[in-house]
Amino acid sequence: MDEQRREFIRKTGLGVLAGLGAVSGLFPESSMESAVASTSSGDSASGKTRWGMVIDTRKCRGECTRCIDACHEVHNVPKFDNAKDEIKWIWKSPFENVFPGESKQFVSEETREKSYLALCNHCDNPPCVRACPTQATFKRRWDGIVAMDYHRCIGCRFCMAACPYGARSFNWRDPRPAIKKMDPSYPTRERGVVEKCNFCSERLARNMQPACVEACPEGALTFGDLNDEQSEIRVLLDRNHTLQRKSELGTRPSVFYII
Amino acid sequence: MRRMMKIKEQILIFGGLALFLFVATYAFWQEGEAKKIRRQVAKSAGEECIESREYMRENHMLVLDEWRHSAVREGDRIHVTPDGREFEKNMSTCLGCHTGKQFFCYNCHQYASVKPNCWGCHQAQ
Amino acid sequence: MIEKALKGDRSYWGWIVFLLFIIAAGVYSYARQLDTGLTVTGMGRDVSWGVYIAQFTFLVGVAASAVMVVLPYYLHDYKAFGKIVIVGEFMAVAATIMCILFILADMGRPDRVLNVLLYPTPHSMVFWDVTVLNGYLLLNIISGWAVLGAERKGVPAPKWVKPVIYLSIPWAISIHTVTAFLYAGLPGRHLWLTAVLAPRFLASAFAAGPALLILVTYILKKTTGFDAGKEAVNKLAVIVTYAAVVNFFLIGMEFFTAFYSNIPGHMHSLQYLFFGLHGKGQLVSWMWFSMMIGLGSLVVLLVPKLRKSSTWLIAACLGIVLSIWIDKGVGLILGGFVPSPLEEIVEYFPTLIEISVTLGIWAIGIFLLTILLKVAVAVKTQD
């Protein structure tokens, strides 16, 4: 018996080791070496498109909500009058909420008073995609947009727990009664699935700018291909000091802020 | 006496089985001609569909699913027919020709007792 | 074998009817939830998981803890656990089924649950959790039923059962480890982002599970006269004691790391749970109650004389189960969401419907356990 037991323990140990080895081979992309390189420095491979956005907060006026209204209208985002059921693709919050890790001492009055735009960051290394059990949310190979497949989402809300930016909303109830003006050219969602900003992929397919970018009267939002050195967005990034939200988490957001 | 019982039992058992089989397969004994439904044939806006009517009647759901998959997940938004015509992979492409989902979709689906939930999200323009 | 569950006295049937009543209420509430959506719960945009996922987490621990009787009995040939091992296995079966039901209750689109298997996604921890939980359920049903069936016929258990049982031992560890990975790998949720989460889960499971098992054996003794044996209960009590020591030690580690490093994000959730943050602290009294009763019970367990007295042991086991249920089944999940990623503090209160569904699932689990144990006891006592 004792001999048998020892043999069992030895074999189990070997099995576990073999399993670990196999698992590390399963995930070449998340192996240790690449994790170091992909934290906050280093740019992604060129050749493919990687859509991104620069938000010039100096130009953004605090009380203006034109971009939010435009987005929520074209995407049939419902408006509930309670915070619990709330669904939002793009919204404004104070500095300390949008940038919780950033400086909190002796902050200028302007920064303190102003509100800042927040939306899905379309991360290059998205934790929501890692967490999703059905690949209902996935990063598009060809342009880096973190997309939702509403037909596949099972409503487990793992992506909501995984997103460090609060960018995702769940349809706690039927959204249709709460949509003020229905835009027939874009589908609504059904209750029970998660939704979020899609970088206006339906408009990009028609060579149009995202609705928020187009709606901004101050030209505070710039959209473009981060992998194209000639693009307007890269020129802006070259000439200005910019911030990404919670860059220390290694998610590599594609939305940049000029403060 | 016991023999008699046995025969009676057997009649009961096999008679019951035959009755059950008859009832269970009753639907298949009918001559296989479905009742015709009155249905408004889609008013086509002139253009021909991506496939023959027979093919679409049987496979439109597969076509839609394939379209959805390739457009949403692969970024391939254009359907090219064998004779070179191009269509955008979009529900509105279908509804652009087949107007009036009331007749075009509902009648048939109701008849076949299928309840797709397309209209839970998509809207007819 | 199952027919043995159909023979019982009045109190047995009374208990069954009582459970069915709670199940019916839960089914009704769940129908309401299916009809209107998860808005009928207290969950919302900021606290997007609640009681359901919290119960799931606690119960995975209960399921995993069966290993604490299986391992000594089958691997170390510890004969004293001979009568209790089937109770542990059946408790694991009931707990695993409850886990699966709680996950289903929490889903926005339960009709699409098979998508998890249709589109297997190895980089998602949920995929692994679904796999190991269902596997564990199978392993326990198969081995428990086969061993019991052999015992009824008075023959030795078939040979193939041994490897199945051996496999269930590392498997039990894996279910709770993977459950911890569900939370521990998420960036931006500081309370969960800790390497000791899986060890903590295992320690709390090996304390709360065997404590629950001790309570169940006392109930069995009282209601059916089935005695698992003094030695078995004493040994279980020792297991509970050591596991509880490790559990509270690991909780202490969390406090040290957060507060000595003084990193705001790491402190916030603990501050919210134990002291309140920005004037909000609905869970403060719960958490302190959990600590007090947990540590108090531990003191009782540490004294051999008290541990061997059945009155004190029952009280201490109740205390440990309650303490860990609050810590894992209330604090840990809710604390992960407060403050939110945007550092807002939104509080969560479960609704009546949510509580009714939760009670319904617990009742289903207890119902199953009752029936399984009824069969087991009938076989063991040659009834």
What would the DSSP string read from start to end of chain B? -HHHHHHHHHHHHHHHHHHHHHHHTHHHHS-S-PPP---PPP---SSPPSS-HHHHHHHHHHHHHHHHHHHHHS---EEE-TTS-EEESSHHHHHHHS--HIIIIIIHHHHHT----GGGT----
Q: Rounded to an integer, what distance in angstroms lies between the CA atom of residue A64 and that of residue A9?
A: 66
Q: Which residues pair with B80 in a beta bridge?
A: B86
- Is A101 within 8 Å of chain B by CB? no
Which of A138, A142, A184 is opposite residue B123, by nearest beta carbon? A184
Three-state SS for chain C is CHHHHHCCCHHHHHHHHHHHHHHHHHHHHHHHHHHHCHHHCCCCCCCCCCHHHHHHHHHHHHHHCCHHHHHHHHHCCCHHHHCCHHHHHHHHHHHHHHHHHHHHHHCCCHHHCCHHHHCCCCCCHHHHHHHHHHHHHHHHHHHHHHHHHHHHHCCCCCCCHHHHHHHHHHHHHHHHHHHHHHHHCCCCCCCCCCCCHHHHHHHHHHHHHHHHHHHHHHHHHHHHCCCCCHHHHHHHHHHHHHHHHHHHHHHHHHHHHHHHHCCHHHHHHHHHHHCCECCECCCHHHHHHHHHHHHHHHHHHHCHHHHCCHHHHHHHHHHHHHHHHHHHHHHHHHHHHCCCCCCCCCCCCCCHHHHHHHHHHHHHHHHHHHHHHHHHHHHHCCC
Is residue A234 assigned to a domain?
yes
pLDDT of residue A67: 96
- Is A138 within 8 Å of chain B by CB? yes
Cβ separation C124–A84 shorter than 8 A? no
**In this model, does residue A23 exceed pLDDT 70?**
no
Domain count, chain A: 1
Is the link from the previous residue into A78 a cis peptide, with omega within 30 of 0? no
More confident residue, C224 or C243: C243
Cβ separation A184–B120 shorter than 8 A? no
Nearest chain C residue (CA) to A88 = C45
pLDDT of residue A31: 43
Of all helices (H) and strands (E), which one includes residue A5?
helix A2-26
**In this model, does residue A241 exceed pLDDT 80?**
yes
**In this model, does residue A39 exceed pLDDT 80?**
no
Put simply, whether the predicted model's pTM sits higher than 0.90 gets the answer no
**In this model, does residue A208 exceed pLDDT 50?**
yes
- B125 contacts in A (CB within 8 Å)? 184-185
Share the mean pLDDT of chain A: 86
pLDDT of residue A36: 39
Per-residue pLDDT tens listing for chain B (125 residues) = 566 668 888 999 999 999 999 999 887 777 666 666 655 555 555 578 888 888 988 899 999 999 999 999 998 989 998 888 899 998 888 888 887 766 788 888 888 889 898 889 988 75
pLDDT band at A41 (very low <50, low <70, confident <90, very high): very low
Share the mean pLDDT of chain C: 93
| Domain with A223 in it | 53-245+252-258
pLDDT band at A21 (very low <50, low <70, confident <90, very high): very low
pLDDT band at C210 (very low <50, low <70, confident <90, very high): very high
- A153 contacts in B (CB within 8 Å)? none
Domain boundaries in chain C? 2-380
**In this model, does residue C275 exceed pLDDT 90?**
yes
pLDDT band at C285 (very low <50, low <70, confident <90, very high): very high
The average pLDDT across A71-75 equals 96
pLDDT of residue B40: 53
Asked which of B88-92, C11-15, C232-236 is least confident by mean pLDDT, the reply is B88-92
Cβ separation C45–A83 shorter than 8 A? yes
Kindly report the nearest CA distance between residue B89 and chain A, in angstroms.
12
**In this model, does residue C250 exceed pLDDT 90?**
yes
The average pLDDT across A85-101 equals 94
Please tell me what DSSP assigns to residue A78: -
Residues of chain A above pLDDT 70, percent: 82
Q: Which residues pair with A90 in a beta bridge?
A: A119
- A174 contacts in C (CB within 8 Å)? 37
Give how far the C-alpha of residue C203 lies from the chain's centroid of Cα atoms, to the nearest Å.
12
- A118 contacts in C (CB within 8 Å)? 342
pLDDT of residue A34: 44
pLDDT band at A113 (very low <50, low <70, confident <90, very high): confident
pLDDT band at C381 (very low <50, low <70, confident <90, very high): confident
Is residue A217 assigned to a domain?
yes
Which amino acid is present at C63? A
- B122 contacts in A (CB within 8 Å)? 187
pLDDT of residue B37: 60
Kindly report the nearest CA distance between residue A54 and chain B, in angstroms.
24
**In this model, does residue C15 exceed pLDDT 90?**
yes
pLDDT band at A33 (very low <50, low <70, confident <90, very high): very low
pLDDT of residue B106: 83
Cβ separation A142–B75 shorter than 8 A? yes
Closest C-alpha among C98, C8, C144 to residue C367: C98
**In this model, does residue A93 exceed pLDDT 80?**
yes
CATH of domain C2-380: 1.20.1630.10
pLDDT of residue C188: 87
Asked which of A13-27, B86-100, C29-43, C180-194 is least confident by mean pLDDT, the reply is A13-27
Cβ separation A86–C127 shorter than 8 A? no
Long-range contacts of A28-35 (CB under 8 A, 24+ apart): A30/A130, A30/C123, A35/A250
Domain boundaries in chain B? 53-120
b/e C85-99 (16+ beta carbons within 10 angstroms → b): bbbbbbbbbbbbbbb
Which amino acid is present at C131? T
Cβ separation C49–A161 shorter than 8 A? yes
As for the ipTM of the complex, it is 0.90
Q: Is A138 exposed, middle or buried (0-12, 13-18, 19+ CB in 10 A)?
A: buried
Cβ separation B121–A147 shorter than 8 A? no
